[in-house]
Structure 1
Amino acid sequence: MAKRASWGETEFYELLCLMMIGVCGWVVGIQLGAFRLLDEVMIDKGLSDIVMLGFFVGIAAFVASVHKSLRLRKAIVERDLAEAKASSVARHDSLTGLANRRRFVEGVDTAFRHGPEGATAAVLLIDLDRFKPINDLYGHAAGNVVLCTVAERLEQVLPPGSIAARLGGDEFAALLPSSIGSEAIARLAQAVITTLSAPISWQSSELKVGATIGIALAGGAVGDAESALHAADLAMYQGKKDGRGTYRFFESAMDEELRARALLERDLREAINEGRIEPFYQPVVALPGRELTGFEVLARWRHPERGVLPPSEFISVAEETGMIGDLCYDLLRRACRDAANWPSHLQLAINIAPQQFQDRWLAEQILAILNETGFPANRLEVEITESALIQDLEATRATLTSLQNLGVRVALDDFGTGYSSLYHLRELKFDKLKIDRSYVNTITMSEERAKLVDAIIKLGSSLGLVTTAEGIECSGSLDWLEGQGCDFGQGYLFGKPMSKAETDRYVENGPAETAARQQIAA
């Protein structure tokens, strides 16, 4: 490959070329006698040739100098434009054209440190709700349209002097000038939520997202961009917990709550790795007759400082952090080993988190555990909550079909509290409906609830599904359920969740003796 000429070599080459052109012009002038007039005024006739040679060479040098100057000016202009473009690219989001994190941080630092005395600038952290399903269902092109539309709407609704930014993914931010006033910030945050929640047209569909906003005001511990973003993030997280589609101002207690959450996540990860989360078992009995038919697996965490923790203390954290898969598979593996020595007619039921049904390898994972432990697939029942049905119906259908092909039974848990419909019951071919305890607890006190439970039992029967009532705690509820034709029952009336040792005694001695022991212990 030939070596590229340097800038100086190129200039020298151009100068030589121009000087040669000048010499050629001088030779042509001599041959044509173009310099005769000059010969008449020159005392030395030969001197005119030298003068004209110098003139032509000088012209060539002058042209070369002008050309060089123009090239330098053009290079400087191109460099300045390139630097300006590079600076713009480095400080703006390439998709939406909004400021990026770097530009936003610079703007926040400037506003917080050099703002007017006593004024209050504010940072809004805006996280889109329901954006991931749009990407999953309609593709990234639709997702990009949503992001660009959100950026346009955000710039339109913010007051003059604000800075709108896209920090990454579906997370946006805004810096509000101190001139807006603290009282107007809440109204503006609500206006942003309303504006961003309006439908977005995409081909023949309407895409809908929402927004949750965290707000941090300058002052106190919030003195720079990083602390402001951290504080706004805590407030936004609180808004997510409170139901999304809302705004929250940062409060110092949120930081303490986040630290506690981080500690819980760390302890939970260690507990899962070290096997400190154990399977407990709650009896399921046939109705009528109350014959033991199996157990539901319930997680219990033996925390070194807080004692035995129920699932409500940690399952949601495991789901949000992606640890639920490892936790569930470990529980299933241990439960299958525990149940291997029980009578062969006893079933084992375990709840699978909605996130796991999006894993195409779920059925294979469960099959591997069954093969590893030697537990028969026809003794296993997988429970799915209604919230899993709205995430990806086709993925859920494929997973359920794979499990049923293995011989695993599938139950729809907490029926009546979520989003399932007759369409779901027909299309997904469940084996069992589980009536939520919130209905069962009140059937003897509310005629309306009793009618609803009766309707669920009759619906299950008409669709060929057996029904299980959860949360049976009194004989009055039990007698009513038996009279309505409910197939199975579960609740404290038959036994509380038990450890393996207690469950083994329950299986061996029967429910009466075990229940008596539990009452004495209570």
Structure 2
Amino acid sequence: MNNTLNLFRIDAENHELMGAQLAAFSRQVPLLYFILSVNSIALASTHLGIAPTILTVVFPGVLVGACAIRCLIWLQRRNRVVEPKAAARTLRATVVLGGALGFAFLAWALSLFPYGDTSRHGHILFFVGITVVSCIFCLMHVRPAALILTGTVIAPFVVFLLASGDVVHIAIGLNLFLVTVAMIYILIICSGQFAAMVNGQMETRRLSNENFRLANVDSLTDLPNRRQFFHRLSILAEQARTANHRFVVGVLDLDGFKAVNDLYGHGVGDRVLKETGQRLLKVSDDTQFIARLGGDEFGIIVDAGLGSEAVLAVGARICSVFDAPFSVAGIVAKIGGSVGFALAPDAGTTAELLYERADYALYHAKARYRGQPVIFSREHEVEIRKLSTIEHTLRRIDLDAELSLHFQPIVNVGTSRLVGFEALARWHNPELGNVAPGVFISVAERTELIGTITQVLLRKALSAVSSWPDGLFLSFNLSMRDLISQGTILQIVAIIESSGIDPRRIIIEVTETALMQDYERVQESLRILRSMGLKVALDDFGSGQSSLSYVHQLSLDKIKIDRGFVRNIAMQENARNIVKTVIDLCRNLKFDCVVEGVETAEQVEIISRLGCSTMQGYFFARPMPQGEVEAFIADFGLSGDRRLVAAAG
């Protein structure tokens, strides 16, 4: 019963189907009313002068006029967007009106029956039959209307023919009934197929929209993803090139996120990233486009011609979202954010160049103004060119010929003994002169050159160690790129094994920054080196973030306290307290402790009093070339130095 009733209902819940039904019906309405009007005029004309004027002129004129009005109404609606509720009302009205008009045409046709002869009776029968068939086809996509019209016309007409007592009329009635049943069957099948087609198109559209969303939206944060960011950036960059359109590109990177991710797991890290996206949206306006580019990096496009001060204000607002700590699953995590901006078209007119320069401004911010916005400037462009020149030169020179090492002594003031040297890279180029280690090492770390440079310097360092007394160790730095490259680590192992130097005399120094890049791979690399007998020191302790988490998780042998804490140790109690805390931590964890950057006898005395005796700095000696190391060792003497005794005394 419900299935039967559903055949006569408009599916008001299926908005797409109703829209398709209205669109199809609006195209067929003119044809429907044309057929009704032509058939009515033809039938009325064959009864002129035979039937009363009201039946041959007035009544058909009213019906044809009603058809014309309805046709005009539908033509006006043809291109309008109809809301679902209005569509449902229109379709229901069509069902009711279709039945009413059908019954009106039938009543008029039957009212002509008493006035005609056999041929005119045949015309009436033809009129009713062809009109119903035509209406069924025209109303096929609005099944309830077609069924109601068929029922209000065919049922009474068949009854009329069967009751006439005329054998021919009875045969025609039965014939018409059977044909109508077949037509209804076809109608139900076709309307069902139409609904299925519309639903299939809906599903196809839904899947297409979902695919578009997946291709352009970051699944974690629901922000636009890298693809959509660069698509929009490319469009704006083209406008900047052709029409001098001004806009701003920004790249945001989280400070300290890697430590949170490693310490608390990816689940907590993901929730921090998701909340970061929500915070960024809250401080953005209609001119700002926020996207997640990957990892803990976000992209910002400000489609407005802002000056430098306004851009810095936007950047300050973005960085302020990190003022409040992140509370996730009972864990409170404090992270920051640095952002670099490039202003188009001044900084470039291609998407790639604008992004690179915003990314360089971000690099500059993280290196010198962590937690603040930085705008790419002409000074940065000069610096980029300089670094590009350095990179190009590094690629073409004989590294073994131009790279060298200086060695800075590490002493134990408690025993007045020289215990080892730290190897420090140096580069002199005939064209560039002396290039600062922090500059060329940084350039090499951003390329694949660092692995080759590390191997060249390690060979030189081990060659120098071979001439030292057996009691002295070598402290050698490995970069982040070295530690995450399995190939470089295997080369380092091979170099050490072929050198003949006891691995126990080698200390590998790593920084917190290196550890934060890929903790698991770094840990595996250190495990390989420690298995050979090498020791591991955490360099520049306290200059990074979340140091204690790495101290807790890594098997370290030594911690080197950053020189930043030593600089003011004679004047600031806080500095002394921090150094004392780290020294006590090392003692409790059974780590060796080295204090870097010692420059005065007063600092030596304070550090000794705090409990650390192993130190390094200008007070003892500046870094020296290998040719001066042997003389320094001989002059220092393994038995002690009176100056150290006096300083510690």
CA contact (8 A) 1:299 1:310 kept: no
- In structure 2, give the amino acid aligned to 1:91: N
Relative to structure 2, which stretch is displaced further, 283-292 or 308-317? 283-292
Aligned pair partner of 1:54 in 170, 179, 183: 179
Structure 1 residue 123 corresponds to structure 2 residue 249: yes
**Alpha-carbon deviation of 1:202?**
1.1
What does residue 256 of structure 1 align with?
382
Unaligned runs of 5+ in 1: 1-33, 512-522
Going from structure 1 to structure 2, the CA distance change for 1:101 and 1:64 (only over 3 Å counts) comes to same
What does residue 91 of structure 1 align with?
216
Question: 2 CA distance for matches of 1:343 and 1:114?
Answer: 68
Q: Show CA shifts across 1:331-387 (max 9, x none).
A: 334322343354434443334457767899999876654432221234334455677
Q: Greater Rg, structure 1 or structure 2?
A: 2
Question: 2 CA distance for matches of 1:424 and 1:223?
Answer: 43
**Alpha-carbon deviation of 1:306?**
2.2
Question: 2 CA distance for matches of 1:370 and 1:59?
Answer: 90
CA RMSD of aligned residues (A): 5.5
Q: How does 1:75-114 map to 2 (within 5 A)?
A: 75-108=200-233
Question: 2 CA distance for matches of 1:472 and 1:147?
Answer: 41
Q: How does 1:339-378 map to 2 (within 5 A)?
A: 339-353=465-479, 368-378=494-504
Q: Show CA shifts across 1:274-329 (max 9, x none).
A: 67533344456776998766543222224352245452332344455576555445
| Number of equivalent positions | 477
- In structure 1, give the amino acid aligned to 2:258: K
- In structure 2, give the amino acid aligned to 1:64: I
Aligned pair partner of 2:332 in 179, 197, 206: 206
Going from structure 1 to structure 2, the CA distance change for 1:275 and 1:204 (only over 3 Å counts) comes to farther
Aligned pair partner of 2:458 in 332, 354, 361: 332
Question: 2 CA distance for matches of 1:165 and 1:427?
Answer: 34
What does residue 28 of structure 1 align with?
none
Aligned pair partner of 2:368 in 239, 242, 261: 242
What does residue 299 of structure 1 align with?
425
- In structure 2, give the amino acid aligned to 1:349: S
- TM-score w.r.t. the length of structure 2 is 0.56
Q: How does 1:275-424 map to 2 (within 5 A)?
A: 276-282=402-408, 294-319=420-445, 324=450, 327-353=453-479, 368-383=494-509, 408=534
Helix, strand or coil: the match of 2:221? coil
Question: 2 CA distance for matches of 1:212 and 1:391?
Answer: 17
Helix, strand or coil: the match of 1:77? helix
**Alpha-carbon deviation of 1:106?**
4.8
Helix, strand or coil: the match of 1:191? helix
Question: 2 CA distance for matches of 1:382 and 1:143?
Answer: 30
- In structure 1, give the amino acid aligned to 2:390: L
Unaligned runs of 5+ in 2: 1-158, 638-649
Q: Show CA shifts across 1:57-96 (max 9, x none).
A: 3333333333333333333333333334433443332322
What does residue 343 of structure 2 align with?
217
Question: 1 CA distance for matches of 2:636 and 2:612?
Answer: 22
**Alpha-carbon deviation of 1:477?**
9.4
Relative to structure 2, which stretch is displaced further, 235-244 or 62-71? 62-71
Structure 1 residue 73 corresponds to structure 2 residue 193: no
Going from structure 1 to structure 2, the CA distance change for 1:207 and 1:307 (only over 3 Å counts) comes to same
Question: 2 CA distance for matches of 1:100 and 1:227?
Answer: 19
Relative to structure 2, which stretch is displaced further, 170-179 or 412-421? 412-421
Instruction: Give the structure with the higher percent helix.
Output: 2
Q: How does 1:172-183 map to 2 (within 5 A)?
A: 172-178=298-304, 183=309
CA contact (8 A) 2:245 2:345 kept: no
What does residue 229 of structure 1 align with?
355
Helix, strand or coil: the match of 2:362? helix
What does residue 166 of structure 1 align with?
292
Question: 2 CA distance for matches of 1:448 and 1:233?
Answer: 36
CA contact (8 A) 2:426 2:435 kept: yes
Percent of matched pairs sharing the same residue: 33
Question: 2 CA distance for matches of 1:48 and 1:426?
Answer: 96
What does residue 145 of structure 1 align with?
271
Helix, strand or coil: the match of 1:178? coil
What does residue 259 of structure 2 align with?
133
- TM-score w.r.t. the length of structure 1 is 0.67
What does residue 319 of structure 2 align with?
193
